[in-house]
C-alpha cells in the first residue's frame, strides 16, 4: 500500500513538472498541484483562457496556488485566493519555474502554503470605457495599431506619454485597446493602470539627477596620455576568464565583469570577414553578436566598446539599462517591449563611488570609473554618436575639455567626478530600451576613465 501511494505522488509530481502539458482532467481540477511566486507587480489574472477580460491582478512575490496548466495558451489555472476554490488564468511567464513549490500531501506544510497564498487584487474592472493612466515607463510607451509588439505604431500618434489619461475600450492578447487624443490603438497591459493609480516610480527626483552642474573639476593637461599611470593586474575572476577567452578566440583583447549584472563578456575586435555585431564569440553568425571594440586591437585616447541590447533574452549589454535605471530611482526594468520586468535590487548602485569603478580589463588597464551616463532618443542627431565615439586622438586638450563638458552636461546623474584631458577614456554604449527602428538613434552611453 505504501508503494502504491508513493507511485501516485511521483506521478503527480511528474505531471506538474512537465513543460508541455494538456489541461488536467476535470476530476483533478479542484486539487492544488504546486505553488509559485509571481515575478512582477500588476500581473493580470484573466477570467477565461482567451485572456480577454481581467478579473484583477497579483503583485510581485505573491504566492499563487496552481491547479493546472494550458500549454497551448501559455496559461496556468490558479486559485484567486487562499480561502476560495474560484479560479482564474495567469500567464505562465509570470511564475518562473524555479519558484514553484510542490506539496502533494495534506498536512501542516500544505496548510501553511494555503494560508500564505496571495489573493487577487481587484483592478476596478478595467472594462470598456474605463479611464486608465500610463505608468511604469520613463517617458513614453509605444502606441500600436494591433495587439502585438510587432504591430506598426499608430500613424500620427506613435506613443503615449507617462501619466497620460486614456480611455480603455477593450483587451486582447495582453494589450489594452484604448483611445488617446482621438486615436485608437493598443498598449501593453503592464503600462496601463486604472485612473488614480499611483505610478510605481519615485515621486521625487533623487539628488544629482536631471538639471544642474557637475562640480567635478575638469583639468587641462599636457595633451599626452599617462600611459603607465593606471596599469594594474586584473582581479582573479577577470584574469582567469580573460585567459580562457584568449585561448578560445585569438581576437580577444579584453574582458568585462560587472558585479550585480549578468554582463561577463570577452571583448573582441573585428577582423576581415568577421563583424562581431553579427558574429558571436565562437565566430558563428548570431543575432546576439559579441561585445567588441570599434577601434581594433590598439589602444587610443577614447576606447569605444559596444554590443547589442538583447531585450527579449535580457542578454549581452541589456543590463547596462538596469544600472542606469537603478541610478535614476526605478525598482524594475523599464523596457517597454518584450518580457523583461526584472527587479533592480541586485543591480549596482553607482551613486556610490566604489560601485562605479568597474572591472574591465583592456590594454593592461583593469579599473575604470564611470563619470557620465545618459540615453538618447530615437530622433537624436546622428552627429551625436559620431561625436561621442570619436577616438579623440587628433583632438587638442581644449577640444577634449569641450568633449568632457558636453558629456557631463548631458549626464542623467551628476557624479561630480574630476576628469583630466590627459585621462584614458572608455565609452561603453548599447541600443536604447524602447525599440523604434533599426535606423533610430536611441543609445545608452556610459563614459569612464582609467583609474588605479
Q: Is residue 209 part of a domain?
A: no
Out of 116, 147, 175, a domain closes at 116
The three three-digit cell numbers of residue 236, written as one number: 582573479
Same-domain pairing of 151 and 284: no
> Could you count the other beta carbons within 10 Å of the beta carbon of residue 119?
15
Of 52, 87, 116, the position where a domain reaches its end is 116
Q: Are residues 91 and 153 in the same domain?
A: no
Coil, helix or strand at residue 70: strand
- DSSP class of 383: H
Note whether residue 203 is domain-resident. no
The pLDDT value recorded for residue 5 is 44
Q: Sign of torsion, CA 336 341 345 350? A: negative
Question: Which residue, of 85, 116, 147, is where some domain finishes?
Answer: 116
Question: For residue 362, what pLDDT is reported?
Answer: 94
Q: Are residues 107 and 142 in the same domain?
A: no
Task: Say if residue 358 is in the same domain as residue 381.
Answer: yes
Q: State the cell numbers at 442.
A: 536611441
The enclosing domain of 334 has a CATH number of 2.40.260.10
Same domain membership, residue 266 and residue 366: yes
Residue 44: give the domain boundaries: 2-116
User: Residue 121: inside a domain, yes or no?
Assistant: no
Cell of 122: 481587484
Note whether 398 and 256 are same-domain residues: yes
Q: Residue 412 falls within a domain, yes or no? A: yes
* Mean pLDDT of successive 10-residue stretches along the chain, which has 452 residues: 42 40 36 74 77 72 79 78 74 75 43 48 47 78 88 90 82 80 83 52 37 76 77 90 94 94 93 92 92 90 93 86 89 65 83 94 94 89 89 90 92 92 95 70 94 88
- Residue 202 within any structural domain of the chain: no
Q: Answer whether residue 208 is part of any domain.
A: no
Give phi and psi for 166, each to the nearest 5.
Answer: -135, 165
Q: Same structural domain for residues 288 and 376?
A: yes
* Same domain, yes or no: 107 and 171: no
Q: What's the structural domain count of the chain?
A: 3
How far are the Cα atoms of 86, 243, 302 from residue 361, in angstroms, in the given order? 56, 11, 15
Q: Quick one: 237 and 137 in the same domain? A: no
Q: Can you tell me the distance from the alpha carbon of 177 to that of 126, in angstroms, rounded to the nearest whole number?
A: 11
Do 237 and 371 sit in the same domain of this protein?
Answer: yes
User: How many whole angstroms separate alpha carbon 4 and alpha carbon 222?
Assistant: 84
d(CA 4, CA 450): 67
In-domain check, residue 88: yes
Question: The CATH number of the domain where 106 resides is what?
Answer: 2.30.30.40
Q: What is the CA radius of gyration of the chain?
A: 25
> Are the CB atoms for 262 and 333 separated by under 8 Å?
no
pTM score, two decimals? 0.57
Q: What is the DSSP letter of 285?
A: B
Amino acid at each position: 500500500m505504501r508503494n502504491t501511494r508513493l507511485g501516485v505522488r511521483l506521478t503527480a509530481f511528474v505531471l506538474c513538472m512537465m513543460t508541455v502539458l494538456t489541461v488536467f482532467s476535470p476530476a483533478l481540477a479542484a486539487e492544488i498541484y504546486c505553488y509559485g511566486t509571481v515575478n512582477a507587480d500588476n500581473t493580470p489574472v484573466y477570467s477565461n483562457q482567451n485572456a480577454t477580460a481581467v478579473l484583477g491582478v497579483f503583485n510581485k512575490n505573491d504566492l499563487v496556488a496552481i491547479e493546472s496548466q494550458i500549454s497551448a495558451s501559455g496559461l496556468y489555472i490558479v486559485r484567486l485566493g487562499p480561502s476560495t476554490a474560484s479560479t482564474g488564468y495567469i500567464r505562465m511567464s509570470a511564475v518562473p519555474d524555479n519558484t514553484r513549490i510542490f506539496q502533494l500531501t495534506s498536512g501542516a506544510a500544505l496548510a501553511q502554503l494555503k494560508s500564505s497564498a496571495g489573493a487577487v487584487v481587484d483592478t476596478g474592472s478595467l472594462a470598456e470605457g474605463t479611464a486608465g493612466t500610463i505608468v511604469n515607463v520613463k517617458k513614453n510607451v509605444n502606441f500600436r495599431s494591433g495587439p502585438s509588439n510587432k504591430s506598426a505604431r499608430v500613424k500620427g500618434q506613435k506613443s503615449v506619454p507617462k501619466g497620460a489619461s486614456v480611455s480603455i475600450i477593450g483587451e486582447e492578447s495582453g494589450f489594452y485597446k484604448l483611445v488617446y487624443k482621438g486615436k485608437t490603438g493598443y498598449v501593453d497591459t503592464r503600462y496601463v493602470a486604472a485612473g488614480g493609480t499611483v505610478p510605481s516610480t519615485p515621486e521625487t527626483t533623487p539628488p544629482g539627477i536631471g538639471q544642474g552642474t557637475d562640480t567635478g573639476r575638469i583639468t587641462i593637461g599636457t595633451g599626452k596620455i599617462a600611459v603607465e599611470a593606471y596599469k594594474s593586474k586584473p582581479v582573479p575572476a577577470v584574469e582567469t576568464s580573460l585567459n580562457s577567452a584568449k585561448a578560445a578566440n585569438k581576437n580577444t583583447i579584453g574582458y568585462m565583469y560587472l558585479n550585480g549584472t549578468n554582463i561577463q563578456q570577452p571583448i573582441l575586435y573585428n577582423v576581415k570577414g568577421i563583424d562581431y555585431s553579427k558574429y558571436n564569440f565562437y565566430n558563428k553568425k548570431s543575432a546576439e553578436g559579441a561585445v567588441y571594440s570599434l577601434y581594433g586591437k590598439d589602444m587610443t585616447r577614447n576606447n569605444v566598446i559596444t554590443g547589442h541590447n538583447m531585450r527579449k533574452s535580457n542578454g549581452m549589454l541589456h543590463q547596462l539599462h538596469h544600472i542606469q535605471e537603478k541610478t535614476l530611482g526605478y525598482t524594475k526594468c523599464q523596457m517597454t517591449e518584450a518580457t523583461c520586468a526584472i527587479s533592480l535590487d541586485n543591480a549596482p548602485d553607482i551613486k556610490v563611488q566604489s560601485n562605479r569603478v568597474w572591472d574591465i580589463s583592456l590594454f593592461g588597464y583593469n579599473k575604470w570609473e564611470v563619470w557620465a551616463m545618459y540615453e538618447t532618443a530615437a530622433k537624436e542627431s546622428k552627429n551625436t554618436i559620431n561625436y561621442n565615439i570619436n577616438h579623440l586622438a587628433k583632438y587638442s586638450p581644449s577640444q577634449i575639455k569641450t568633449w568632457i563638458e558636453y558629456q557631463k552636461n548631458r549626464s542623467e546623474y551628476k557624479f561630480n567626478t574630476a576628469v583630466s584631458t590627459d585621462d584614458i577614456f572608455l565609452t561603453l554604449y548599447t541600443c536604447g530600451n524602447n525599440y523604434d527602428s533599426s535606423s533610430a538613434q536611441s543609445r545608452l552611453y556610459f563614459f569612464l576613465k582609467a583609474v588605479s
